[in-house]
Amino acid sequence: MSNTVPSLHWSYSSIRPRLAKSALAFGALFVAAGLAFAGECPSDKRVPDGQGQKAGPTAPVGVTDVVRSTTDLSKEPAAIAGRQFRRRWIRT
């Protein structure tokens, strides 16, 4: 019987194919996971483009809004025409 010790020596040429296969497997899992979450709407819930969920009422109910002061931004260093900062008092 011979007492030979297995070689623990490795080289980059032997590890490259393993790394390539591992990267390919990881990439495939990443793509498959992304596709699993990219579902579509159920067929009975589909509507034509621009015909989605209708907006609800936007006017506040039971709220009073009083503008206390404004700052015209066209006169400020930012020089934004048509915009204002408003200090408001809102009561519910």
Over residues 57-91, the pLDDT tens digits come to 777 788 888 999 999 989 988 888 988 888 999 88
Question: What pLDDT does 69 receive?
Answer: 92
Cα-Cα-Cα-Cα dihedral sign, residues 42, 43, 48, 52: negative
CA 38 from chain centre, in angstroms, equals: 14
Residue ranges per structural domain of the chain:
63-92
Question: What pLDDT does 37 receive?
Answer: 57
Over residues 3-53, the pLDDT tens digits come to 666 666 656 567 788 888 889 988 888 777 766 555 677 778 777 877 777
CB 84 within 8 A of CB 71: yes
Question: What pLDDT does 63 receive?
Answer: 87
Coil, strand or helix: which one is 87? strand
Q: How far apart are CA 68 and CA 47, in angstroms?
A: 44
Length reported for the chain: 92
Q: How far apart are CA 59 and CA 16, in angstroms?
A: 64
pTM: 0.31
